[in-house]
Structures are given as C-alpha cells and as structure tokens.
Chain A
Amino acid sequence: MTSGRLQKLNLFGGIITVVTLLCAIIWAFPIYWGIVSSLKPEDEVVRPYIELWPETLTFDHYWFALTETQIGRWYINSIVTALGVTVLTVSTSMFAGYAISQLRFPFRRTLYWLILASFMVPTQVLIINHFVLVANMGLLNSWAGIILPQLIHPVVIIVYKQFFDQVPKDFREAAAMDNASEFGTLFKVYMPMNWGVTTALAIVSFIWSWNAFLWPFLAVTKNEMMTITVGITQVSDAFGVYYARQLAAAVLAGFPVAFAYLLFQRRVTTAITLSAGIKG
C-alpha cells in the first residue's frame, strides 16, 4: 500500500469518526434540551430565541412537581409494581427454565414449544380480555391488577434454559453424590453460577415494567393509583400548560431508569441482546 493511499484512508476514517460523534450529540440533544428547559423559569422557556443554558437556574418546577402533585405517590406505585413484576417474572421463569433444562418429565417438549409459540402472540390484542379478567377479580385500580397481565415474558425462560444447559454435567453429578435435593442443586449450584444473568434479567424486567404504558393506563382510573409513566401524561390539570413543569415531571419519570442504565450499562445491554436470542 502506498503512503498516499494510507493517508487518504486515515483521513476518511477520521471524517467518519467526527460525523459519528456529531450525530451522537445531535441524537441525544432532545434529552439535553428537555432537561435544560425544565431548569429555566417559565418566562425564559418561551423566549423566541435559543438559549442553550438557563439565564437563571431554577429548581422550582421540580419542587412544584414533588410537593404540589401526586408524583410521590406515583413513584411508589411504579416502584412497587415494577419490583413485583421483576421478582415474579424472574423467579417463576428461573424455576421453569431449570425444570425444562435439567429435569425429565412428561410433555417437556410440548411445554417448550408452547413457550416458544407464545412469542408470537401480541399481548396488546389481549387488553380487552385482560381488562375483563382483572375487573372480574376486583383488581382494577390496585397494584396486583397492574402487575398481573405484565407477567408474560417467555423470553426470560428461554434465556435461563440456555444458560442452565451450558452448566457442565459434572456439577450435577457432584451435587447428586452429596445427596443434594433437586431444589438444593438449583439454589446452591445453578443459581449462584448464573447470578450475572439473573441480575441482568432483573434490571431489564424492572425497566420494561417501569416503562409499561398501555396496560397500567387501562387498569387504573384513579389518580392516586397511577404509575408515574401514565400519571405524567394523564393528569394535565396538575401541570397545566406550563412547559417547564411538564418537562420537570418527565425528567423525574425518566430519571430512575436512565440512572439504572448508566449504572449497569453492560448488564443492561447484555440482557437486551440476549432477549433477542443473540449471545452477546
């Protein structure tokens, strides 16, 4: 390769890098713009020119959202329901994944195919019958009612099955020598060996559930039972047409999941890649 050609390649590569960086900044700009706007006084927000940083920095809108609206209550609803969904999904999926991966029982393959097939069924079309079911159980406007229909995550079982399949058979035999029961083998051998997957799946389940909109929106009609994702869009009289207030509420709603992602970046991205059936 001649040096001229090499230089041309490097120049080209450099341009691509710069373009990628610029695109990344533009891509994330609406998030930045939303945060900055929420820190401006209401009269600065509606100025007819662009100010990339507030002239007067204010936290009033956050104070307003936290003290004058039901956002605190919505936080609790979101945390409780998201934790409920996470714990129930991960535990039931782990048990089922273990059984399918390690144990022999009648209809094992049938069950596995049923789970695979359920990937295809869109839960959105079940909203009518979920509503009827939850209403008949008397669970509308309750935490349990918000949680229940969100528990369909067949992919979590599949991921567990794949990981349990990979545990070498020696461990099983060693546990059997020690006279460990099946439950003991699961809790003392298989679970600790796959803590990484469990935490990753748990974080992602939590984020999915925190972000769920359609079902919590249908299951709740009382303001005080809304999750934060639904609440900030439904109770408009709490915020009025105060743009900065609305944005402050949005920042408060997005903060926990954004923070969880930034804290556990690798685990989150691994779990999401796994959920698409790709080993990351």
Chain B
Amino acid sequence: MIRDRKKEALVAFILILPFLSIYSLIFVYPTIDMFLLSFTDAPLIGKGEWVGLENYTRLPNDRRFDTAFWNTAYFVLLSVIPGTFVALAIALGISRLQGRLQAIVLALFFLPYILPVSVVYRLWDWTLNFQFGIAMHLFDLMGIDRVPIFKVTGWFMPAVAMVTVWWTSGFSILLFLAGLRSIPNEIYEAASLDNTNRWTLFRRITWPLLWPVTALVLTIQLILQLKIFDQVYLFSVGGRPNDNLVMVYYIYQRAFVSNDGGRAAAIAIVLFIIVIIVSVLNFQLMRFAEKRS
C-alpha cells in the first residue's frame, strides 16, 4: 500500500493538536511555572523578587513542614499496607462466590469507591459522631470510653486511614479479582490431587502468581496516598488542622491561606520530586521482578 507520508503526518498533527494544546496549557506550562515560582517570594497572585534557594533552605527548620512530612509518611504506612491486604482478603472471598451472589457482594464492597469524598466524609462523620454516632454505641457496649475521634490528634490519622481504606479498597479488589481470574484452574486441580491443604495452596500458588498484581496495587496506592488531601481537610474542620497537616494540605495552607505562592511552590516541588522518585523506583523494581520470573 502506498502511503502519502506528508499527508499522513498532517492528519496526525490535526488529530493530536487538541490534546497537545490542552496538555501544554494545563500541564507543561504550570509545571515550569511552578519551578520558577519556587525561587521567588511572590504571593499567590502577583510578582515577587528572586530569592534563590531561600524557600527551600527554610524548610528543614519549618515545624509545620516537619508535621506535614511525617504525617504523610504515617498516613501512607497506615493506609497502603493494611488497605492492600484487606482488599486481597476480600477479593479471595469474592472469587469463591459465583453468578448473581458474586455480583451483589462485589457491588457492596465496591460501592464506597464510587462515592464522592464529601459523601464519604458525611457518612463517617455521622457514624463516628461523638454524641449520636452508631459506632459510639459499640464503644459503650464494649466498655470503651467515648472519644471525639476526629478532634483527638492520636486518633485522627488512624481513623482517616481506616475511612480511606474503606473508600478506596474497591479499586484494589477489582485488580486482585482480575489477577485471580488469570490464574489457570488446572494449576489448582493438579495441586489438589496431591492432597495439598488450603494454606499451602495459597502460599505456593496463589500468592506467588498474584505477586505482580500485589506489587501493582501497592504502587498505585502508595502514589495515590502520598497525594492525600480531601479527607484530611474535611475531617479537620472544627478540629486541629495544624496537627493533621499533610503535604498537599500544607501546600494549600501556604498558598491559599497565608498567600505565600513562592513558599508553597517550594513545598509542591518537594512533593513532586518524592512522587517521581517513588514512581521511578517502582518502575525499576517491577522490571526487575519481571526479569526474574
């Protein structure tokens, strides 16, 4: 077949143009702009003086940055690993079911994922309400003293992490189910002939064959939770926002509350670099794992 190269390139260019212009406007340009902004003392809107690395050098002594950094790390730890294993357990349970029942049970577990964060916030704020929350009745029954969960610093992050696991597990469950479906039945049949018990079956077959999916879920969750803001912000209203700061929250606070565009951009760059390093490490790790298997 004869292809008219010039015409083909022109058509391609026309097709790509809408995407490329949007991409440049809201992605390439803001990214460059953010780097430049981080070296100035500009307010959110308006010009500022060039201050070199000052916005960065003051971060190590910034107590709020410290809080935001460690809270983010703590939150990642509390949500990513438990979330992945909860989702795996649920997926194993669902994969045993069949037909209609399976569809219904999957829908029950998946429904929270589809809800907006503000609805999730309302539901859990109500469920864990200090005075009238149904969970507090359970606390009473078990003889635990009631706690205003989202107002107490020690309870805040674990509670928000739990709500986040509840909210986002649906996604991981789907990935695990797809992974479980791709394990051929013959392998299990062959193994069951040897009288292997369930635990051995899981440890020797399911877990290793599912490992690529587990790694993917961990990666996606990790990168997602580094960027947490919505839940922390919403649950902090009326509580202690400064104790609950996470990275994006601090960016928001610096930029939109304190009107410090330059300093906010420096924090954004730090988070930007963390996310990129984690992504690249993950990518290399996955490639390494693929080569080994």
Residue of B96, B178, B223 with most partner-chain A CB within 10 A: B178
Q: Of A100, A214, A246, A269, which contacts B122 at CB under 8 A?
A: A246
Evaluate contact between B117 and A30: CB separation under 8 angstroms.
no
Query: CB distance A254 to B132 under 8 Å?
Result: no
Q: Is B22 touching A151 in the complex (CB atoms < 8 A)?
A: yes
* Chain B, residue nearest A12 (CB): B198
User: Please, which residues of chain A bring their CB within 8 A of the CB of B258?
Assistant: none
A-contact bits for B200-237, CB 8 A (1 contact / 0 none): 00000000000001001000100100110110001001
Q: Could you give, for residues 6-39 of chain B, a 1 whenever the CB lies within 8 Å of some chain A CB and a 0 otherwise?
A: 0011011101101110110111011101100100
Kindly state whether residue B53 has any CB partner on chain A within 8 Å. no
Q: Does A46 contact B (CB under 8 A)?
A: yes
Instruction: Tell me whether A132 and B33 are in contact in the complex, defined as CB-CB below 8 angstroms, given that A33-B134, A250-B119, A253-B118 are known contacts.
Output: yes
Known contacts A30-B127, A34-B126, A103-B12; A233/B1 CB under 8 A: no
User: Which one of A57-65, A121-129, A192-200 contacts B?
Assistant: A121-129
The verdict on A25 contacting chain B, using a C-beta distance below 8 Å, is yes
Near A by CB (< 8 A), chain B positions 239-268 give: 248, 251-252, 255-256, 261, 264-265, 268
Does the CB pair A250–B118 fall under 8 Å?
yes
In the bound complex, CA of A116 to CA of B19 (Å): 14
- Number of chain B residues close to chain A: CB under 8 A: 92
B129 part of interface (Cβ distance < 8 Å): yes
Interface presence of B195 (CB below 8 A): yes
Most chain B Cβ neighbours within 10 Å, of A50, A108, A249, A250: A250
Give the distance in Å from the alpha carbon of A13 to the alpha carbon of B197 in the complex. Answer: 12
For chain B, residues 268 to 293, give those with C-beta under 8 angstroms from any C-beta of chain A: 268-269, 271-272, 275-276, 279-280
- Our count of residue pairs bridging A and B at CB distance below 8 angstroms stands at 270
Task: Please tell me if the beta carbons of B132 and A46 are within 8 angstroms of each other in the complex.
Answer: yes
Structural contact, B114 and A258, CB atoms closer than 8 A: yes
* Alpha-carbon distance between A100 and B251 when the two chains are bound, in angstroms: 36
B residues near A27, Cβ cutoff 8 Å: 108-109, 112, 166
Nearest-neighbour CB distance to chain B for A171, whole angstroms, equals 13
Given A229-B118, A253-B116, verify A214-B19 contact (CB < 8 Å): no
User: Contacts of A251 on B, CB cut-off 8 Å?
Assistant: 119
Taken residue by residue from 242 to 280, chain A's Cβ proximity to chain B (1 for < 8 Å, 0 otherwise) reads as: 010011011101100110111001001100110011111
Q: Is B107 interfacial (CB 8 A cutoff)? A: yes
Q: Which of A80-97 contact B (CB under 8 A)?
A: 88, 91-93, 95-96
Q: Mark B107-149, 1 if CB is under 8 A from A, else 0.
A: 1111110111111011110110101101001000000000000
The CA of A207 and the CA of B263, in the complex, are separated in Å by: 34
A24, B105: Cβ atoms under 8 Å?
yes
B133 to chain A, nearest CB (A): 9
- Give bound CA distance, A24 to B38, whole Å: 47
B109 and A130: CB pair below 8 A?
no
- On whether the beta carbons of B118 and A230 are closer than 8 Å, the reply is yes
**Among B3, B25, B37, contact of A104 (Cβ-Cβ < 8 Å):** B3
Residue of B29, B31, B255 touching A131 (CB-CB under 8 A)? B255
Are B108 and A25 in contact, with the CB atoms below 8 A? yes
Q: Report if B90 contacts A (CB, 8 A).
A: yes
A11 lies within 8 A of chain B by Cβ: no
Asked if A50 contacts B137 (CB within 8 A), the reply is yes
**B272→A261 contact, CB < 8 A:** no
Does A16 have its Cβ within 8 Å of any Cβ on chain B?
yes
A182 touches B107 (CB 8 A): no
B52 close to chain A: CB less than 8 A = no
Partner of B44, one of A34, A132, A152: A132
Q: Is the CB of B12 within 8 A of A122?
A: no
Contact at A233–B118, with CB atoms within 8 Å? yes
CB distance from B173 to the nearest CB of A (A): 10
What are the interface flags for A99-138 relative to B under an 8 Å C-beta threshold, 1 for contact and 0 otherwise?
1100111101001000000111110111111111101000
A11-25 contacts to B, CB under 8 A, are 12-13, 16-17, 19-21, 23-25
- Cβ B16 vs Cβ A99 within 8 A: yes
A131→B103 contact, CB < 8 A: no
User: A24 with B116: in contact, given A46-B131, A246-B122 (CB under 8 Å)?
Assistant: no
Q: Contact check: which of B12, B93, B229, B252 meets A16 at CB < 8 Å?
A: B93
Chain B residue contacts of A34, Cβ below 8 A:
122-123, 126-127
Which among A120, A157, A181, A280 is the interface contact of B276 at CB below 8 angstroms?
A120
Q: Report how far A120 CA is from B108 CA in the complex, Å.
A: 31
**Subset of 12 A-B contacts with CB under 8 Å:** A16-B93, A25-B108, A27-B166, A46-B131, A95-B15, A105-B12, A125-B248, A131-B256, A132-B45, A133-B25, A257-B114, A278-B178
The list of the 10 closest CB pairs from A to B, nearest first, reads A20-B93, A129-B30, A250-B122, A105-B12, A254-B119, A96-B19, A103-B12, A105-B9, A125-B268, A95-B15
Interface residues in chain A, defined as those with a beta carbon under 8 Å from any beta carbon in chain B: 1, 9, 12-13, 16-17, 19-21, 23-25, 27-28, 30-31, 33-34, 37, 45-46, 48-50, 88, 91-93, 95-96, 98-100, 103-106, 108, 111, 118-122, 124-133, 135, 148-149, 151-152, 157, 173, 176, 181-183, 186, 207, 210-211, 213-214, 218, 228-230, 232-233, 243, 246-247, 249-251, 253-254, 257-258, 260-262, 265, 268-269, 272-273, 276-280
